[in-house]
Structure 1
Amino acid sequence: MPSVELARAHTPQGEIALRSRGDVIELIVNGVFAMDSAEVTSELALADAAGPRPGTVLVGGLGLGYTAARLLDNGARHVHVVELAGPLIDWAMQGVTEQLERVAHDPRIQLHHGDIAEWLPRRDEAFDAILLDVDNGPGFLIHDHNARVYAADWLRTASERLAPGGVLAIWSEDAAPELAATLAGLGSLTETVIEVEREGRRFGYRLYRLRQQ
């Protein structure tokens, strides 16, 4: 089925586009497929990692809005979403897709245009959960500068921004042993494999969940 372009923009980090194939919405970053609305199992699992009725949650990466929307459905009190691509926030506010519009206009959501690697260290409040869906994990970066998010010093800072009993959850396209080892040194770590099938191929995405003691 041919695609229909819904929106396209250039950013300092490269090009970003939304397109549709029938009822399916696709997000393309720098010419690389980032995600679509046909299979959102891992986006929902990332939100669920925050636990039932989470309080204040920080999400790194807006995507197509499925993680943020799930947090709303789970009863989150307040959700901060930090997104590097300003046009994606603009498109959400304009209602280019139904899901993005819902997220942008819910009073519990606050959208921030910024780099999560720089935004989080400047904050001094505690979060009940920090959920990161940045690029495709440390092994397949669309933007090289996002490697900072997976560095030991930054992850330690993120863990220090958690409220007691809080959760730091990170999605990765594939197994990330170095990331797992770093997180294991910061608290109690669980690794979950999320089985997803796309176009006849099976993928084992990873979800790393660190709980603050």
Structure 2
Amino acid sequence: MESVRYVEVARAESERGELVLRERRDEGAPSVLELRANGVFVMDTLETSTEQALATAALELVEEPRAVVVAGLGLGFTMHEVLRDSRVERCTVVEIEEELVAWMRSGTIPHGPALLADERVTVVVADIAVALAEARPASYDLLLLDVDNGPGYLVHEENAALYRAPFLTSARRALRPGGVLVVWSANPAPELEDAVREVFGDAEARPYDVLLQDRDEQYWLYLGRLAAAD
């Protein structure tokens, strides 16, 4: 019988609770890095297709995504996919957990230093709600909200506010004409769609099919788009 072992790589405490980076070692298979918050699985380095799909699908919605915000660093895979697009001139990543950023910079997350070496990247350690409230109006072409797996799967209960009209209004203000907000959700989220419609005047819910470890899964993209300038 194959055995699975877990080795703790790093641990941090913040006002939001405990953040743990650990290595999962399956006998006969490459080791996998796993991120957990307050004991709840967040993501790992084995299955990254959903993060990549979010970035790819979002980038297709904007003709010139020169300035992009990624809300949520995670293990860096959404950011990595954004940076693969040569149209992107500036990628601002907003991450609330300072230690997670430190792990990425120090190489505790092995692929981190190479990703952060890209001169287009700026990492801001802040709550995304605060960062957008302080951002200059019309600064960005694309905003990807990837701090949870949608409003039904919150990493922290406080994140519920990110799917409501006041925060979405800050997001709208930070976007340039023609800019797009994209929110990833693991399940249909009609209340989020209503909130996006209230703020942007229109909303779109797009189902997105993803293959996860030989399982067909369906996720959702919730879009708010500003009209292009005349």
TM over 0.5: yes
Larger CA deviation: 98-107 vs 172-181: 98-107
Q: Which amino acid aligns with 1:208?
A: Y
Corresponding residue SS for 1:39: coil
Aligned to 1:121: 133
Which consecutive unaligned segments of at least 5 residues does structure 1 have? Answer: none
Corresponding residue SS for 1:98: coil
| Structure 1 position 136 matched with structure 2 position 149 | yes
| Counterpart-to-counterpart distance in 2, 1:29 and 1:86 | 14
C-alpha RMSD of matched pairs (Å): 1.8
Aligned to 1:104: 116
Deviation at 1:80, TM superposition (A): 0.7
| Counterpart-to-counterpart distance in 2, 1:199 and 1:73 | 24
Corresponding residue SS for 2:5: coil
Larger CA deviation: 74-83 vs 189-198: 189-198
Larger CA deviation: 39-48 vs 77-86: 39-48
Corresponding residue SS for 1:164: strand
| TM, length-normalised to structure 1 | 0.92
Identity of aligned residues (%): 39
- Aligned pairs for 1:136-155 (under 5 A) are 136-155=149-168
Give the total of aligned pairs. Answer: 213
| Structure 1 position 33 matched with structure 2 position 41 | yes
| Counterpart-to-counterpart distance in 2, 1:208 and 1:85 | 25
Contact 1:93 1:105 in 2 (8 A): no
Contact 2:147 2:155 in 1 (8 A): no
Q: 1:199 to 1:67 in 2, by over 3 A?
A: closer
Aligned to 2:27: none
Deviation at 1:36, TM superposition (A): 1.4
Aligned to 1:50: 59
Q: Give a deviation string over 1:133-168, Cα, whole Å, max 9, x none.
A: 122211121211111111112112211211111110
| Counterpart-to-counterpart distance in 2, 1:97 and 1:23 | 13
Deviation at 1:86, TM superposition (A): 0.7
Larger CA deviation: 114-123 vs 136-145: 136-145
| Counterpart-to-counterpart distance in 1, 2:114 and 2:226 | 31
Deviation at 1:6, TM superposition (A): 1.8
Corresponding residue SS for 1:2: strand
Which consecutive unaligned segments of at least 5 residues does structure 2 have? Answer: 25-29
| Counterpart-to-counterpart distance in 2, 1:210 and 1:37 | 30
| TM, length-normalised to structure 2 | 0.85
Deviation at 1:46, TM superposition (A): 1.9
